[in-house]
Amino acid sequence: MNEGLFDLRDKVVLVTGASRGIGKAIAIGLAEAGANLIVCSHASSLKKTVSAVEKRGVQIMAVKADVSRKSDVTRMIDQVVNQFGKIDILVNNAGIFLEKPAEEVTEEEWDRIIDTNLKGYFLCCQAVSRKMIKQKSGKIINVTSISGLASLPNTAVYCASKGGIISLTKALAVDWVKYNINVNAVVAGDVATEISDDRDKDKIPMGRRANPEELVGTIIYLASKASDYVTGSLVTIDGGWTAQL
């Protein structure tokens, strides 16, 4: 187990969107740092994530929940507190992507993207904040995208949702600092996952996409006491992409 500033032993962490890709890598990394995990997914199986985390010798609970539904989020947080007695860290990661010309986007598509990517983050933040305010401590980490800072063609709705997460992070950091709750965001560039492709690789100064595991160190830092004086911050992990803007 890690020791010192980055030690997460006995911490209780909820990771949304943890069935694969970035969320799965984050869950495994946090477990290696000693944290007990609650992993959440709407539809995908969490079996692989659970199996990988269990090998690290920590406690894990899997919850099926749609983060865009307040009733699901409330139930999930209640389950966490009933099982572990507290919640120390929230990693908001659940999200969906839409690539489509803005003039062709339907109202239903707009609602689906915004409800999951932005409303879902807010509902999870709101629900855990009520527990963290009573504890007088907590760490919230919102995983967003460089699409919230710079746009690519035909991604208007997705960009709006990711930009909203950035603004939400800063606003909640200011509101909740008096409760000793840190709220920060990891702004990810192009990450190699099951649903990504290589088409924009030439735009990255490093010449490659990130591996999901390359986000984990920053997540652990923001979850640990090493970041106690950090709130309202954006940590960009993009291989230099936005440095060109």
Catalytic annotation, residues: 158
CB 60 within 8 A of CB 37: yes
Single-letter amino acid, residue 190: D
With residues binned 3-state (H G I as helix, E B as strand, rest as coil), the percentages for the chain, rounded to 5, are: 50, 15, 35
| DSSP output for 112-171 | HHHIIIIIHHHHHHHHHHHHHHHHT-EEEEEEEEGGGTS--TT-HHHHHHHHHHHHHHHH
63 forms beta bridges with 40
Beta bridge partners of 210: 191
Alpha carbons 183 and 157: distance in angstroms, whole number: 24
